[in-house]
Amino acid sequence: MKRKIALSALLCVPVSMTWVASGQNVTVQLDPVQTKILWTLPAVLHTVHGTFQLNSGAMTFNTQTGAASGLFTVNENSGQSGDNTRDGRMKKSILKTAEYPTATFQPTHVAGSFHASGGSNLTVNGIFQLYGADHPLQLDFQVNTTDKVVMATAKFNIPYVAWGMHDPSTLFLRVDKSVRMEIDAKGIVQPSKK
């Protein structure tokens, strides 16, 4: 059974474990193949579920100060819901992938206690760029680390209409103005030089 863990790509602040020393920098490198990005858009008649593909993702953070840097990139053209016609409309009219082919998250600060082995609850703050605009975003992760392999999950909402994107609702089909996101990530964590 697959183990889920919380990480929107990431980790934490005060640490005290074997290979992680206080004040040390820790780097997390996500595996795009083993990382899933799921989305759900509730509607009046039915709920639409889909996925996006992570292009790349890495973050370095300091276990004492929480200062973080890095970049996570998602391919907007990879969005799928199982209906080619609907997906085409989504990419052309809502995401406008011809103009905005990627969405990114740049972590700036991590809070919580990261454990080099076992579970951790972490909060990652950063800048989420979507549809050509930057938005502050806070992600709460549940993380599990075993033999330097990190797995994490996080859930959050994207208020896409409030962020300037097209509302696909019609007279007879009403959809939520926020899309629910879930990250199920896997990667490698290791200490790095200060």
pLDDT tens digits, one per residue of 56-103: 999 999 988 999 999 999 999 999 999 999 999 999 999 999 999 999
pTM score, whole prediction: 0.84
Of 89, 69, 65, nearest to 79 by C-alpha is 89
HEC profile of 41-65? ECECCCCEEEEEEEEEEEEEEECCC
Q: Which CATH architecture has domain 25-192?
A: Beta Barrel (2.40)
Confidence of residue 8 (pLDDT cuts 50, 70, 90): very low
Of 160, 155, 42, nearest to 103 by C-alpha is 160
pLDDT given at position 13: 31
